[in-house]
Amino acid sequence: MDRLSLTFSALADPTRRAILARLSTGAASVNEIAAPFAMSLPAISKHLKVLERAQLIARGKEAQWRPCELKAEPLREADAWLQQYRQMWEERFDRLDAYLMELQAKSVEVSAPSAKTTRTRKKRP
């Protein structure tokens, strides 16, 4: 699998996204990462392995402590890939906005009373 696919696959899980959010504040041990989750340490370790395989985190080794830290490069690559689509959608929204403004202007023209249509009819006896 290519790196971009690994990144999106890893980001597909809400637990892994939450782990990345936690690591965005700084390095943490597995126990610190696992604390807010109602799951076992082996389950957290499996999530960490997926993130590590996608190169979204790195595990260090400092004596007995094995801190995990966020690696941003794969996220930058994913953002760069998404940027082309973001630009396309912004252009489409701009065209839609212009079209809606055109329709609204036409609607105002049609609904505005003109001098010809404001004549009152004579009542029949």
- pLDDT, tens digit (0-9, with 9 covering 90-100), for 4-53: 999 999 999 999 999 999 999 999 999 999 999 999 999 999 999 999 99
Q: What is the 3-state secondary structure (H, E, C) of 1-68?
A: CCHHHHHHHHHCCHHHHHHHHHHCCCCECHHHHHCCCCCCHHHHHHHHHHHHHCCCEEECCECCECCE
Which of 81-85, 105-109, 111-115 has the weakest average pLDDT?
111-115
Determine contact, residues 33/19, Cβ cutoff 8 Å: yes
In CATH, which of 1.20.140.10, 1.10.10.10, 3.40.640.10, 1.10.1840.10 is domain 3-71? 1.10.10.10
- pLDDT, tens digit (0-9, with 9 covering 90-100), for 45-92: 999 999 999 999 999 887 777 899 999 999 999 999 999 899 899 999
d(CA 7, CA 54) in angstroms, rounded, equals: 5
